[in-house]
Copies of this chain bind each other. A is one copy, B any other.
């Protein structure tokens, strides 16, 4: 999945503020693809760049880097423009990464025509992320594939060291 946005780290603007510009595509193209192809096929098409990344990937500069049966991995580079008011990356960024990798892990198990929607998401934070953390990797794995509901678990770690940043679980409703 090639990020279509220009994710240059913030350059200083004349008034002392940092500035970043990103671009994205009409998100409904990918959404309609799900009716004709299995989850595995849709996600592989994204990794291959055959279909564009969804806007949220451009917004955060995050990339789907790997899929397998019941498994999906996203990566992102923590940046200053993700910061909360208490001096580190906002917890919502980890939540977004973990929701993505766990939802896509579940999606890999679904045939064409079956959709999914996150029912709930729980994140446990082990340590913070800052601009010094370096690239982080979120891996999701399916735990239970039911008929109406599937569950998955996820780990967000520092790529260079494997240190745990957060872990999570989710349940997704399956929609035929």
**Interface members, chain A 102-157 (any B CB < 8 Å):** 103, 115-126, 128, 143-144, 146, 148-149, 151, 153
A78–chain B nearest beta-carbon distance, Å: 12
A42 surroundings in chain B (CB, below 8 A): 85
Asked whether any CB of chain B lies closer than 8 Å to the CB of A30, the reply is yes
**Contact residue among B13, B17, B99, B149 (Cβ-Cβ distance under 8 Å from A95):** B99
A125 to B117, CA, bound (A): 9
Chain B: CB-nearest residue to A34: B86
A98 to B29, CA, bound (A): 29
Chain A interface, number of residues (Cβ within 8 angstroms): 71
CB of B58 within 8 A of CB of A81, answer yes
Given contacts A81-B59, A120-B171, contact A96 B90 (CB under 8 A): yes
A15–chain B nearest beta-carbon distance, Å: 8
A46 to B85, CA, bound (A): 10
A99 to B122, CA, bound (A): 11
A-B pairs, top 9 by smallest CB distance, nearest first, are A92-B96, A31-B87, A95-B95, A27-B83, A54-B85, A56-B90, A122-B122, A17-B23, A21-B21
Q: Can you identify 10 A-B contacts, CB atoms within 8 angstroms?
A: A17-B25, A18-B25, A24-B81, A27-B85, A56-B83, A91-B96, A91-B121, A126-B144, A126-B146, A167-B169
